[in-house]
């Protein structure tokens, strides 16, 4: 029960951070600032609590490659090939999270840019689930 309450609280924190105004330097790459209050897992890596820049890579072959940078954009922390995900468009950025076993960080499931009905879903190897 406590884990469910903690998960719900963390989800609200991440969702609130995702809904905060973000710098829209370039709508082509969907650059979004996400702030996590606790560690968050992405495929192949766990990000410590902090602020990160998420953006789509500039690739002609597809629009589902996500790059994650440090807040100052000086360090590329991860490049992740994701799959398209769809939803009803909203005016805010949003993320969805996946529950993990007790003691493990929550995992980022999907990311959507404000106003878009297409986002990306992160695919995890079976060993990370």
* Residue 51 · residue 31 · CB < 8 Å: no
DSSP-derived secondary structure letter, 129: -
Which pLDDT value is given to residue 58? 74
Domain of residue 57: give its range. Answer: 2-128
Tell me the C-alpha distance between 6 and 33, whole Å.
Answer: 23
pLDDT for 78-106, tens place per residue?
A: 999 999 999 999 998 899 999 888 999 99
Pick the residue with more confidence: 28 or 7? Answer: 28
pLDDT of residue 19: 43
Query: Domain total for the chain?
Result: 1
The residue among 52, 45, 35, 42 whose CA lies nearest residue 120 is 42
Q: What is the pTM of this model?
A: 0.75
Q: Which are the contacts of 72, defined by CB distance < 8 A and separation ≥ 6? A: none
pLDDT at residue 10, as a whole number: 47
pLDDT digits (tens, 9 = 90+) for 25-67: 467 889 999 999 999 999 999 999 999 999 998 766 567 899 9
């Amino acid at each position: 029960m406590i884990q469910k309450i903690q998960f719900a609280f963390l989800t609200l924190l991440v969702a609130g951070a995702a809904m905060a105004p973000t710098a829209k330097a370039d709508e082509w790459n969907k650059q979004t600032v996400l702030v996590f209050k606790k560690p968050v897992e992405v495929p192949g890596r766990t990000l410590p609590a902090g602020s990160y820049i998420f953006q789509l890579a500039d690739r002609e072959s597809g629009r589902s490659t996500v790059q994650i940078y440090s807040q100052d954009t000086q360090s590329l922390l991860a490049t992740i090939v994701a799959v398209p995900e769809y939803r009803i468009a909203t005016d805010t950025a949003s993320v969805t999270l996946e529950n993990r076993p007790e003691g493990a960080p929550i995992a980022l499931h999907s990311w959507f840019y404000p106003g878009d009905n297409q986002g990306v879903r992160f695919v995890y190897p079976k060993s990370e689930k």
